[in-house]
Amino acid sequence: MILFSSILPYFTDPLIWIGLILLLVFLLIRYALNNKIITQLPGRLEAELPRKVLKNGFLLGLLVTVLGITLKYHQLNKAEQSHALNLIQTEINNNLTTIQQLSQNTQTLLDSHQTISNALRSGDSRIMKLLFPTTEQTADKATQLSQKVEKSFAVLKESNLLKNKTAMNVFNSNKNQINTALNLINQTLASMQDPAGEKYAIKTQIWQNHKEVIAQLDDFDMNAFENSLNSMHALKSQYNQALKDNSDYFFEVSNFAEHNTFVGNGIIFKIMSKEKQSLISLSKLNADIKTLLPQLKRQQQL
């Protein structure tokens, strides 16, 4: 059935039919002459078409048939290439849309990260401000994060704020505000998750099915195209990691905000570590997408 469907278009070509008819007619004439079924040709016919020509005329039919098949093959191949290009372009456009969506998600993640980081530092609680120093206060790169946390706790202990009921009430109130903000943010972030790997998948099925056809095009750069697909896959993997880093950060903040009692420096260290790692991942992803997306759009215009 597959073989029949593949050769059927050739039987719609008039040149092939002309070649087959000529081939059949001259073969019949050759057979008739060789077996003396026809012994005498009309004088005028024999004068204009000698027996040798009539006997070998089937070669003309064969030549016309081969020419028709060749032209039809190129016609069908060109149509197949054009069809494949259209299908692949659709797949490419969908992939580019996915990357653009990842870019929007990344910006939302950065905004959410900034919201929570600011909430840890911009409230009315003096305790909170001591636990989570601002960027300016932690600008000394030579100081390890663990040392910064220990120093913050030492200052907090000396301040006696932990024994101040008013200060503790403001501290707990700020934690409740952070927890409320996190709950709202997490509802948005839930829509950005892709546990099955399908929502934001970079698809290549059509490309894989038609790449052999596309490879026949002289002006198509296969390596550049596949490199751009690899870049999109890399961005998707980078997005997954950044999303995980950000989720880990929010998880630690949530643990901190939900504690009814005061927490130790271990949780604060985790929060600040996750905060830093998440910001690095998101910032790099955001920069990479902004750099690569215009290049991908140019490279993948077929």
DSSP assignment of 11-70, as one string?
GG-HHHHHHHHHHHHHHHHHHHHHTTSS----HHHHHHS-HHHHHHTHHHHHHHHHHHHH
**In the predicted model, what is the mean pLDDT of residues 5-10?**
65
Q: Supply φ then ψ for residue 199, to 5 degrees.
A: -65, -40
- The whole-number pLDDT of residue 136 equals 53
Statement: residue 8 has pLDDT above 80: no
Statement: residue 283 has pLDDT above 90: yes
Considering 28-42, 257-271, 277-291, the range whose residues carry the highest mean pLDDT is 277-291
Q: What percent of the chain has pLDDT over 70?
A: 85
- The whole-number pLDDT of residue 4 equals 54
Question: pLDDT-derived band of residue 300, with 50, 70 and 90 as boundaries?
Answer: low
Statement: residue 73 has pLDDT above 90: no
Considering 3-17, 24-38, 70-84, 156-170, the range whose residues carry the highest mean pLDDT is 156-170
Looking at residue 136, the DSSP 8-state letter turns out to be G
Which pair of structure tokens corresponds to residue 43? 């004088």
Which pair of structure tokens corresponds to residue 135? 């960027």
- The whole-number pLDDT of residue 240 equals 92
Residues composing the chain = 302
Statement: residue 218 has pLDDT above 90: no
Statement: residue 89 has pLDDT above 80: yes
| Nearest to 128, CA basis, from 293, 253, 273, 30 | 253
Question: Hey, how many other C-beta atoms are within 10 angstroms of the C-beta on 5?
Answer: 8
Q: Give per-residue pLDDT as tens, 148-183.
A: 888 888 888 888 888 888 988 888 889 889 999 998
Q: How far is CA 66 from CA 9, 15, 28, 35, 225, in A?
A: 15, 9, 19, 28, 36
Residue found by looking up tokens 């087959």 in the block: 20
